Structure 1
């Protein structure tokens, strides 16, 4: 089921083929790891600065995102790097409480993995046997509904406008979990489908949501808020719902403010508002917000401005994070953070919704939704279950 590394650390088998979310499609099957940096709170220091400095030390300078990129695919040089930032690390960068302890402490809070090209490409991994046990939920439907009512009470007092609440479930497993995690990337609409692995941990992602993308000096975020079943009636309901539109527009406003911290004056714009798109068997509403990046903005500045993503916190962001820390019984772990690809001139980070993680014994999943004054507790519980269902089904092989 597991292998023991030469240092005696209990580890998961590592994928020989790199499939990092948002890695260049032409490069994915030829990538090999060159260097790795992982950060945990006990390490101290500023993880955003640490990530930027590590990348620069390995030939990937990201200290001025407005600067035109120079070629960096030289022989033997780096192609780019996978970057993972947990929700807890994002809260830390925002100066907010980090919430309940993670259920998967083997995972780092930040990971940067620099890749180069292999010649010849590595062989594809062999699939192993996999058996998944029963799911254990972090809260009952009644406890989830009570958290929704607590948020509505906070809104009624004027403490917040919206809070995203997230539940967790885990199951024991036997066998090799990596092919199961890789299946998540094949789910329909998984814009950030892929995997990232380390010693004793792995993440599989099926996220459709762009936290932040940078190309040609322009920043883009695509917040998703609003969910209905992927039927003709569901699409009509989503488009007609005043509650879903209000929830969505609050987060678009928040994302406009986040990008404004990084943008040239007057360049923030909403390119598309409340477009209905499909993920698996759900309709979801997505908007596109963009801005020209200001001179002198580096990766560390970017992470401090956008992490954690507004669509999984609420508004105002700091007040929402305070409520999340008070209400959620289990930490968000690998979910509701950032995972994707960084290189000079190109950043593409997905928000880790529809994401699973494994440690040496258990597989973990998370799901939730944004709560507004108009939220119905039972409907919110059902929506979280609908979001989690395709991920659980893919992990089980259905």
Structure 2
């Protein structure tokens, strides 16, 4: 058991940007930054800085691995990764917790790759697997720095305050300017499919829909480039341009994950479940009049509403597996949410978790998110594997934290990039249904990246 929790306010200015403080540990293996981007979006409030995990658990297709210098822990190679993570989480859980409105008081944090779905369902192996990172990797964190962007207050959470880890990080920030080499692309972005190849795949999906194999398929293309310099600097450029409420930066020894996601996957607070699928996208207008016209067009689009409703029904079914009977609701349907580069059509699905289930059960029941597969989910994943040239890796997986109270928040890792060695990869996709038009769907993938690819090419 870890010691009791110490929670205290930190004397830092409200004007201090959380990213500046995180810069002091941005290059450390295991550092994670949950970044609400200080935007005005309803889901933006808290920033969370994590570093120096007590233990880490990773899973790939061949093994589970636990890194823990302080405990002798073991797990079976073929054991379900969600179960292993749950056991590790409970192993470090403190005996006594405190009540607070802060979203995280210590616990597990990390990522789940889209391809982790192979650990849940049997999916064929066709697409090339050329980005070698774990399917899942989580750390156990017993300290955190949290900023409430609504009040401007800073808080420290620590189970071992005598180690002065929070003070050391703040001192490092204050004592020296953090220098990071300028990020620069040294090649053009290159897609893994041409427009004509995309259209051929689009037509194949249409045939599958006409034959009754599926109702909707999310088809994505991947863009790749070579780079030099600091990937942390690239993240700062992206988040400044996008202001996405579920932004995150995760540093590992050999790679980094950069996410500027606007989409919540699953939130769990005191047994209350919420998921907010996005289906339907239009770009922002060049003028206020045009912008409002695009919003109205998206709101009234029969095609986008039908696409959104399919995924709402899928997610209602997914969360019903672990929620109490009769509690699953759709309080918000087809709402337009606006971001710097696009408008999105968003719905909200809620439920109450069964007493016998926890956050890990909820994740497993719903993973991967239906908004980025299609419907029905398993058949959609099979078709995605057939048509997309490369595996998705973290893209369309999830970035999440689960604290020791059992609360969780997680994103769908869209608008997300992976930097490994000197390569950087970025994906974009969209749902294809019966009345989709190929040129419109292709353009939608580009619209979703118009605040990503050009920003990093500057």
Same fold (TM over 0.5): yes
Aligned to 1:263: 323
**What is the Cα deviation at residue 18 of structure 1?**
4.0
- In 2, Cα distance between the equivalents of 1:95 and 1:59? 33
- Structure 2 residue matching 1:367: 3-state secondary structure: strand
**What is the Cα deviation at residue 369 of structure 1?**
0.2
**What is the Cα deviation at residue 174 of structure 1?**
1.2
The within-5 A match list for 1:2-151 is: 13-14=27-28, 18-20=32-34, 28-29=48-49, 31-43=51-63, 44-45=77-78, 46-59=80-93, 70-71=97-98, 79-97=106-124, 100-105=127-132, 107-117=133-143, 118-122=165-169, 123-124=172-173, 125-132=178-185, 133-151=187-205
The within-5 A match list for 1:375-394 is: 375-394=436-455
Aligned to 1:195: 249
The within-5 A match list for 1:194-343 is: 194-230=248-284, 231-343=291-403
Aligned to 2:216: 162
- In 2, Cα distance between the equivalents of 1:16 and 1:163? 34
- Structure 2 residue matching 1:333: 3-state secondary structure: coil
Root mean square deviation of aligned Cα = 2.6
Unaligned runs of 5+ in 1: 1-11, 62-68
Unaligned runs of 5+ in 2: 1-25, 38-43, 64-76, 144-164, 285-290
**What is the Cα deviation at residue 364 of structure 1?**
0.6
* Cα pair 1:144 1:381 within 8 Å, conserved: yes
* Cα pair 2:399 2:411 within 8 Å, conserved: yes
Report Cα offsets for 1:101-136 as digits up to 9, x if no partner.
33311x211010222332305134432222112112
- In 2, Cα distance between the equivalents of 1:352 and 1:194? 9
**What is the Cα deviation at residue 169 of structure 1?**
1.2
**What is the Cα deviation at residue 287 of structure 1?**
0.5
Aligned to 1:7: none
- In 1, Cα distance between the equivalents of 2:239 and 2:90? 29
Report Cα offsets for 1:166-218 as digits up to 9, x if no partner.
11111111122122124433444511112011110110111011110000210
Equivalenced residues, count: 375
- Structure 2 residue matching 1:296: 3-state secondary structure: coil
- In 1, Cα distance between the equivalents of 2:56 and 2:316? 33
Report Cα offsets for 1:248-291 as digits up to 9, x if no partner.
10001101101101100100000100000112221110001000
* Cα pair 2:257 2:418 within 8 Å, conserved: yes
Q: Which has the larger radius of gyration?
A: 2
Structure of higher RCO (CA pairs closer than 8 Å, 6+ residues apart): 1
* Cα pair 1:30 1:121 within 8 Å, conserved: no
